[in-house]
A and B are shown apart, each in its own frame.
Chain A
Amino acid sequence: MKVLLAGDNVSGLAEELKKFGPDEIAVANSDQLADYTTESYAGVLADYIKQENPSLVLLGHSAIGKDLAPRVAARLGAGLVSDCIKINVDGGDFSFVHPIYAGKAIATYKVNSAVKMATLRPNVFPIEEAEGAASVVDFAPEIAASRTKVKEVIQQAGDRPELTEADIICSGGRGLGGPDGFGLIEELADTLGAAVGSSRAAVDAGWRDHQAQVGQTGKVVSPNLYIACGISGAIQHLAGMGSSKCIVGINKDPEANIFNVADYGIEGDLYKVVPALIEKLKEVNG
């Protein structure tokens, strides 16, 4: 296993990577790689793959991975399976498991090109450390100029974790009754160090930015804990969070579909339940 580490001033990260046990770490260090741009990075990765000729290339299904992998795959004529939740290895043969229809079905793919590529869903594969004394080598290809220029990077306000990477997500829906209700969800999230999500209904009502939307036409998440407050549990929403390890549903409607999937359900007014829950969590956390 070899790792390509690309960026500007990233040599120091090689040490970090060693503890995950790769055989070799190639470092492409250049000020031309300071910003992520598709074309410059695609050139570096494609050149590295051509040099190494691996049977399998893996990237994260992150914003960068999603942008980069198909571009490189098209350049190299490699088959690509995106957003994998599992890779089966059978002898020298791989098969790739990728949820389709936003998780309403699970598909297994085979790739018939010599180089096979896949992007991996964040938060799904366990991270394990391994013994290893990887050698660190320089990789200095000619870097293609990028026609796109990054003018500005805007960090999301606040220090809550990114939805797709959060261990815990607290989400609100139509049951909040209005945009102000998200104040309570944010308070709960901050008590747990969680990200804040939203149902489509709340986004469509203009209560929350679409970046927070969880579901078929929003983000697909798989946290350890998903707390749905005032969310009925429409099929599109379940498609986005159904693979969460543990689901808690808080809803005043006993017929709400969320109770059909929740590990723990509380039937009641969220404006009573959530404040009490925040109190209790604070008490437990000391």
Chain B
Amino acid sequence: MNIVACIKQTFDTEAKIVIDNGQVSDQGVNLIVNPYDEFAVEEAIRLKEKNGGEVVVVSVGGDKTQEALRYCLAMGADRAVLIQDPALDNTDNIGCATALAKLLAGMEYDLVFCGKEAVDDGAAQVPSMLAEKLDLPQVNVITELEVADNQATATREIDGGSEVIEVQLPVMLSAQKGLNEVRYPSLPGIMKAKRKELKVVSLADLELSADDVAAKTELVAAELPPARKAGQVLTGEVEEVVAQLVKLLQDEAKVI
């Protein structure tokens, strides 16, 4: 079973966001593998361990993204491909999906995994766009998965519950928290990772032009949200405080 896992390198979720000249600054920010993509990579590795085959982890990014890919190799992925090109620096989700789709079109796979969204822009676009570009069926936001006899049965979150989807392979699946418990890369895994293949390809290698991956959306400006001011702390006996709170919620905040 050949599996591709698509990952993005993102800010650590604990990172403090600093805006510099209308853009989010990455100065001094710790970078990690997007947490949802870790579930994707973990699921890919588990399926490989069960069924044999190969896990290829792919990403679009710059020099630093190699660290994220190495991390996935240390977890147990077999090889990695990074699409790196100056023309991708300012692209958007559709541009990334286009580049990834071109890369995957030249590969053999039964399953494509993504994280359900990246914790940076929270757009949740690339998985479905990639599926569309590859003409694959898609099941997003999955929390359970079984693969047998060339068929996947996946449980995905929907509003107010979940649904169970059946689909023939190949398919694109995007992972939600709860799908599995992500392993820590073991020390032998880390030592082996440096001997595994990490290939860097450019747009030219994929026979794509800068126009092919041109952004259709542009981040004009980013700003910090208005700071929330600390309100009042109510003090006194429990009964008094509670009565005070209910009154404030009714009359001042008007929310109940």
Contacts and interface: CB of A to CB of B under 8 A. Distances in A.
Direct contact of A and B (CB under 8 A): yes
Interface of A: 38-39, 42, 62-64, 66-71, 73-75, 77-83, 95, 98-113, 146-156, 162, 164-165, 167-168, 192, 209-211, 213, 216-218, 220, 224-225, 235-236, 242-243, 245-248, 259-268, 272-273, 276-277, 279-281, 284
Contact of A248 (B122, B168, B245): B245
B93 A80 contact: yes
A39 B243 contact: no
A75 to B, nearest CB: 6
A224 B217 CA distance: 31
A245 B252 CA distance: 12
Interface stretch (B77-85, B197-205, B225-233): B225-233
Chain B, interface SS category: mixed
Contacts of B171: 147-148
Contacts of B223: 105-106
A108 B124 CA distance: 17
Contact of B221 (A81, A108, A111, A276): A108
B233 A259 contact: yes
A80 B160 contact: no
A235 to B, nearest CB: 6
Chain A, interface SS category: mixed
B165 A106 contact: no
B255 A277 contact: no
Nearest to A239: B13
Given A74-B133, A79-B217, A106-B224, 18 more contacts: A67-B141, A79-B216, A101-B119, A105-B17, A109-B217, A151-B165, A152-B164, A165-B159, A168-B256, A216-B119, A224-B255, A236-B14, A259-B233, A260-B230, A263-B231, A264-B233, A264-B245, A276-B239
Contacts of A264: 231-234, 245, 248-249, 253
Interface string B159-203: 111111111100100001110000000000000000000000000
B168 A265 contact: no
20 contacts: A63-B141, A63-B158, A74-B133, A78-B216, A79-B94, A80-B94, A82-B125, A104-B224, A108-B219, A113-B216, A151-B163, A152-B163, A153-B158, A154-B162, A216-B13, A242-B228, A260-B228, A264-B253, A265-B234, A276-B238
A95 B220 contact: yes
A151 B234 CA distance: 51
Nearest to A217: B35
B97 interface: yes
Given A105-B224, A111-B216, A147-B137, A273 B242 contact: yes
Given A67-B128, A147-B137, A210-B177, A100 B255 contact: no
Given A109-B219, A225-B249, A80 B125 contact: yes
10 A-B pairs with least C-beta separation: A79-B216, A263-B231, A70-B128, A147-B137, A74-B132, A74-B129, A70-B125, A225-B255, A265-B233, A152-B164
Contact of B242 (A83, A210, A216, A280): A280
B248 A148 contact: no
B115 to A, nearest CB: 10
